[in-house]
């Protein structure tokens, strides 16, 4: 007597539940289509445009952030080092090289949700192109570590996975013609633990 309605109810629960879980999984899997990769760095230049795909628009709405216009800036993210290992806060890394031409760039460490990592207020949790020490050839070297280092240092908390977020502001790289031949800094592991 209750067998048919029970089977219908179970079928509907599976269908709606499966559909909702699949949709949430697809929306959390990627910031959209059209990613560019330069070494360990990746960016989604079309995310902030009016012609962005539905997944990118969903991420933008979910995050509640205002994104840069296509001519204003471009955000690159690195979650692995040059050897392909996940970035973890108990290791020390060296960011070395140059960034593409930009009026200003910023660099910070972020948690998996893209929020800046929290460190003690007196520690350098971000770097930018205006305050960085450079070599004679214009290149730079930034040490990313939970312990203090000389020269350019980006502080990390003691543990956990993180990613590096490099934002180029007022750069020709943000336009589609500037993506060819960009030079990005390398992220090298210097070791883990003490």
Domain shared by 11 and 46, yes or no: no
Assign 149 a pLDDT band (cuts: 50, 70, 90).
Answer: confident
User: CA 145, 29, 170 angle in degrees (round to 5)?
Assistant: 60
Domain shared by 41 and 112, yes or no: yes
CA-to-CA dists, residue 162 to 26, 112, 175, angstroms = 22, 6, 28
User: CA 135, 140, 141 angle in degrees (round to 5)?
Assistant: 115
Domain shared by 99 and 20, yes or no: no
Domain shared by 42 and 138, yes or no: yes
State residue 36's pLDDT score.
Answer: 75
Instruction: Quickly tell me which residue has 């009026």 as its tokens.
Output: 103
Other Cβ atoms closer than 10 A to 98:
15
Q: Which helix (H) or strand (E) holds 23?
A: helix 3-29
The structural domain count of the chain equals 2
Structural domain of residue 175, as residue ranges? 34-192
Domain shared by 24 and 97, yes or no: no
**When comparing pLDDT for 173 and 138, which is higher?**
138
**When comparing pLDDT for 160 and 159, which is higher?**
160
**When comparing pLDDT for 69 and 114, which is higher?**
114
Domain shared by 9 and 77, yes or no: no
């Amino acid at each position: 007597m209750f067998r048919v309605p029970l089977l219908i109810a179970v079928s509907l629960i599976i269908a709606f539940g499966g559909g909702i879980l699949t949709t949430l999984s697809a929306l959390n899997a990627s910031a959209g289509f059209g990613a560019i990769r330069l070494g360990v760095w990746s960016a989604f230049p079309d995310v902030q445009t009016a012609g962005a795909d539905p997944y990118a628009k969903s991420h933008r709405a979910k995050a509640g952030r205002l994104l840069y216009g296509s001519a204003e800036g471009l955000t690159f993210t690195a979650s692995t080092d040059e050897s392909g290992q996940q970035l973890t806060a108990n290791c020390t890394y060296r960011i070395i090289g140059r960034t593409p031409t930009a009026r200003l760039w910023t660099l910070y460490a972020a948690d998996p949700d893209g929020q800046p990592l929290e460190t003690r207020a007196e520690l350098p949790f971000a770097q930018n192109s205006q305050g960085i020490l450079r070599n004679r050839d214009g290149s730079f070297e930034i040490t990313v570590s939970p312990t203090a280092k000389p020269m350019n240092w980006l502080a990390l908390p003691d543990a956990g996975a993180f990613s590096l977020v490099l934002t180029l502001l007022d750069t020709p790289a943000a336009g589609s013609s500037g993506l060819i031949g960009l030079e990005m800094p390398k992220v090298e592991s210097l070791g883990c633990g003490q």
